[in-house]
Amino acid sequence: MAAVGALNSPAGGVATDFRKPSATGRQMQKERVVLAPWWFLLPALAFYCVSVIGPSVVGVFSAFTNWDGFSRQSHFVGLKNFFHILSDPSAAAAFRQTLILAVAVTVLQNVVGLLLALGVNSGVRSHRPLRVILFAPAVVAPVMVAYLWKYILAPDGALDSILALVAPASWQLNWLGSTDLALWCVVAVIVWQMSGLSMVIFLAGLEGISKEVLEAADLDGAGAFRKFFSVTLPMLRPAVMVTTTLTLIGGLKQFDTVWAMTSGGPADSTQTLSTVIFQNAFSFGYFSYSIAIAVVLTVLASPISWLQYRLAHRERDE
């Protein structure tokens, strides 16, 4: 006790308060608090680097070689695979059809999803069962939905059988065998399945709109259309941004529905970049060329993701 008193007394020559941490101690404690989340993130980050980042880097490097996907030897060929994309008619057609499919699905799915959301949110008695029924196709595997509609749209399928009973014979078409109709049939199936997902996103946005704002618009004498375009739609901007980004990126990398329904046919009229990648890698053995197309597809989708990120941050700041 005397020694401690001597340390804390002026006579002892040292005045130290052990109850308060020093500036260095506070700084070290603050650094430990800042670094703590990174220690929890480290295992997931390491797994992500090993399972995603590493293979992606190796894959991008393979796009500059002539690797066939099986042999251990490969040679660096520079930009040869990328230049081949420019001269490949199947790649050019797939690029055009991918853009058509992505834009068509984005527009139609969002319009249909918004209309469904407005209908379900209008206060009808059966709005809860309707939500479940309309959202149900979105949780079914796309391959299952594609095969179902493939049989419905077959020349002797359910659709032509119904049309034979109620419509002229000219209405019975080879829906998936026509180069003019096949792509739009695929678009219709994707929209049919995924509109429920857009509906749920729009419903979340509609439920976030204050009723006082809508009542104020009614008091100002705004009609249904004026209230929708001047009040409801502007306040749905975050939901529109999210569902537009999801549908556009999903349309650009669409594969399973197209492959299950048409396998890229007839006459390559439904080929997309994803189906061309699959065929070149696993059917033709041009593995490095398929990776080059995948890199191009990634370059197409990345700006959309970046734009969505920027818009989301701007929306949050506002």
CA separation for the pair 37, 287 (Å, rounded): 40
Q: How far is CA 161 from the centre of its chain?
A: 36
At residue 189, the pLDDT reads 96
Domain boundaries, the chain: 19-62, 80-317
Is the whole model's pTM more than 0.95, yes or no?
no
Residue 221 DSSP one-character state: T
What would the pLDDT profile of 260-284 be if each residue is shown by its tens digit? 999 998 999 999 999 999 998 888 8
Burial environment of residue 229 by CB neighbours within 10 A (0 to 12, 13 to 18, 19 or more): exposed
CA separation for the pair 93, 96 (Å, rounded): 5
At residue 276, the pLDDT reads 93
For residue 65, the cross-strand partners are 76
CA separation for the pair 187, 207 (Å, rounded): 29
CA separation for the pair 114, 207 (Å, rounded): 13
At residue 40, the pLDDT reads 81
Report, as ranges of residue numbers, the positions in the chain whose pLDDT lies below 50: 1-18
> Around Cβ 28, how many Cβ atoms within 10 Å?
12
At residue 8, the pLDDT reads 47
At residue 33, the pLDDT reads 57
At residue 301, the pLDDT reads 82
At residue 164, the pLDDT reads 86
Burial environment of residue 291 by CB neighbours within 10 A (0 to 12, 13 to 18, 19 or more): buried
Cα angle for residues 48, 51, 54 (degrees, 5° grid): 95
Topology (CATH) of 80-317: MetI-like fold (1.10.3720)
At residue 4, the pLDDT reads 44
